[in-house]
Amino acid sequence: MRTSAGPIVVDGATVVTLDPDRREFATGHVVVEGNRIVAVGAGPAPAHEGARVVDGRGCLLTPGLVNTHQHLYQWVTRGLAPDAGLFEWLTTLYPAWAGIDEESVHVAVTGALAQLARTGCTTAADHHYVFPRAGGDVFAAEILAAAEVGLRFHPARGSMDLSVKDGGLPPDTVVQDRDEILRATEAAIDRWHDPSPGSMLQVAVAPCSPFTVTGELMREAAELARRRGVRLHTHLAETTDEADWCEHRFGCTPSEYAEELGWTGLDVWFAHGIHFGDAEIKRLGQTGTGVAHCPSSNARLGAGIARVADLRAAGCPVGLGVDGAASNEAGSLLEEVRHAVLFARARGGPRSLDVRSALELATLGGARLLGREHEIGSIEVGKLADLAVWRLDTLPHAGIADPVAALVLGAPPPLELLLVNGRPVVERDTVITVDESAVAAQVAQAQQALLAKAR
């Protein structure tokens, strides 16, 4: 919750609400009290005694961005296997990941979330699936780091029980027994999941992928999640290699396999979703199953371009994800918005995805994947005060006629202010909740130690 005294008023900004009427105000205001939006509209803000007034002239005010898929622990293993495809990349990095522990995960998550905050992210979902036996409580380490940075956090308790000896990809040192996984996952829900209104922390259940997890674990994980009322997440249809693997092993496509195991519905979202056929996309739309589109990582690994326009047309909920961080070294959520537009148009032409729809993917779309669309993702009275104020009057953006086009298609602009739950996290393009310089030094040190351990 916010600790600052009095309301916060952003006055004089261009406001893009993404409310049901998609209202935009060329000159408008937003008023925040506590952790809620209490007023939004055109023209000057009404007077609020004791308020902090933020001069929004020259700025664009949007909902905070929602990151629906990332692997934050990888922030300390970036730059490895830079020219590899997914399977080669995974086998190269698993030895390094086998050495992560509480300390390295805390450092990695702090660095990755600070970078996300600097790029407009207010809510982050993380998929953590590597649990070395000597690593301590790495899941707790990332949750504590998220609290320090101050982002709304949706950690997904991942898992792997299919190692190399079983025909999977991970080494034996990073997989767990199915019963152990289910016990640990339920314990994580008991300890950390907060379903209350305005929650800053919600846990999902997230077996890693078809080629790292047995079908038994996938099925039992879905049963556990639904019994406990939490959401389900996994990788799916990321590469043609995965499709070939599923065809050889199960005699079906990845999405057919997932549906057979109970992995479709409004409470499920898949990461990537690149290689779906027409019938599969139609089925995803019919069941309301979501997709986290990760354009930069998909391109970095040469995996392909997701059919975002077709998914949206079918009624499939679609949000954006940074992925990586070892397959997306930039770690910028705003960059995903731009790449979503460019890659969609490279695939399907200039009208495949417009700039406002791309911004919607990063806000309401992401909120919908996480089951939070009634609380975040748009600027409306009563919603949580997760807001981004972007400065568009500097050299890279001054003179761009459409401010949304300036944000989405232009260079990343300075972030004047980022509010999460009504609390400032970024001020004048600097994270104020943690020391950026100190975190950068810790990240470099943690990476060196981790790589030395893997030699």
pTM: 0.97
CA-to-CA distance for 377 and 123, rounded, in angstroms? 10
For the residues 299-306, what does the mean pLDDT come to? 96
CB 185 within 8 A of CB 223: no
- Residue 211: band (very low, low, confident or very high) from pLDDT cuts 50, 70, 90: confident
Which residues 6+ apart lie within 8 Å of 411 measured at CB?
396, 397
Q: What is the mean pLDDT of residues 332-356?
A: 97
Structural domain 65-369, CATH architecture: Alpha-Beta Barrel (3.20)
153 has a pLDDT exceeding 50? yes
Peptide bond into 98 cis (omega under 30): no
Higher pLDDT, 36 or 90: 36
Q: State residue 164's pLDDT score.
A: 78
pLDDT band at 3 (very low <50, low <70, confident <90, very high): very low
What percentage of the chain carries pLDDT values higher than 90? Answer: 91
Tell me the mean pLDDT in the region 169-181.
87
User: What integer best gives the mean pLDDT of the chain?
Assistant: 95
Domain ranges of the chain: 8-63+377-431, 65-369
Question: pLDDT tens-digit profile of 227-269?
Answer: 999 999 999 999 999 999 899 999 999 999 999 999 999 999 9
Longest dimension (CA), the chain: 67
Q: What is the pLDDT of residue 209?
A: 92
In this model, does residue 299 exceed pLDDT 60?
yes
Assign a CATH topology to domain 8-63+377-431: Urease, subunit C; domain 1 (2.30.40)
pLDDT band at 5 (very low <50, low <70, confident <90, very high): low
What pLDDT score does 173 carry?
Answer: 80
Residue (of 174, 180, 243) closest to 210 by Cα position: 243
* Residue 288 confidence class, pLDDT cut points 50, 70, 90: very high
pLDDT, mean of residues 434-440: 98
Residue 291: pLDDT above 60?
yes
pLDDT in tens, 369-419: 999 999 999 999 999 999 999 999 999 999 999 999 999 999 999 999 999
* Res 421 pLDDT > 90: yes
Q: What would the mean pLDDT of 106-129 be, rounded to a whole number?
A: 98
pLDDT tier at 167, thresholds 50, 70, 90: confident
On whether the CB atoms of residues 7 and 32 are closer than 8 A, the answer is: yes
Per-residue pLDDT at 1:
40
Q: What is the average per-residue pLDDT within 94-108?
A: 95
